[in-house]
Amino acid sequence: MLSGLRAGKLHAALTIRPTVREMRGLKFETIRCHPVGIICSNSSPLARQPAVRPSLVAMSELVVYRAREFPEYHQWVSKILRVSESRLMIIQECADVLSVIAAVESGRGPAVVGEFITAVAGDRVRFVPFVSEAHFLEVGLLYRQGRVGENVRKLVAVCLASKQPT
């Protein structure tokens, strides 16, 4: 996606905020900030909690996205849970969001995610936010700085008009 934007093959993308290093030559406009927590099966004891501590989740066997497809995900999870990547206890790696939801729903373990996953998961799993230190994922519009066409300007304007109040 980033290379597509830089090469001009892609004009804009709806995505989570890239790292500062990845943003070279690109602009990111935040549209929404989503709480971060876990999804767990509805039968999990964690599903009855109003919130959960990252330290408790760090001791759990986790369902995660495959590092090959989502290399930054493991780093992000280890940062939130405050454990090294090598200490993450991974029970299952999944190729996509539907696989993560299915693995969690079947009781394999929780997954660390943004709340926006509930739009796809529905009531198949329970989202439980983290309690300590507010963790958020910024979702927004990423586009090239400078040579922006009229359609991208209109898209940015619409996205900013629908921006979530802070």
Q: Does the pLDDT at position 64 exceed 90?
A: yes
DSSP one-letter code for 52: B
Give the least confident one: 37-46, 66-75, 97-106.
Answer: 66-75
What is the reported pTM? 0.80
Note the pLDDT of residue 132.
67
Instruction: Give percent of the chain with pLDDT exceeding 70.
Output: 94
For the chain, which domains are there? 2-32+137-161 (3.40.190.10), 34-136 (3.40.190.10)
Q: How confident is the model at residue 138 (pLDDT cuts 50, 70, 90)?
A: confident
Long-range contacts of 59-62 (CB under 8 A, 24+ apart): 59/89, 60/89, 60/109, 60/110, 61/89, 61/90, 61/91, 61/108, 61/109, 62/88, 62/89, 62/90, 62/91, 62/109, 62/110, 62/111, 62/112
**Residue-averaged pLDDT of the chain:** 89
Name the band, by pLDDT with cuts 50, 70 and 90, for residue 1.
low
Q: For 40-44, 90-94, 117-121, 141-145, which range has the lowest pLDDT when averaged over its residues?
A: 141-145
The SS3 assignment for 42 reads coil
Please check the confidence at residue 36 and state whether its pLDDT lies above 90.
Answer: yes
**Residue 38 forms beta bridges with which residues?**
112, 128
* CA–CA dist 107, 115 (Å, integer): 19
pLDDT confidence of residue 19: 82
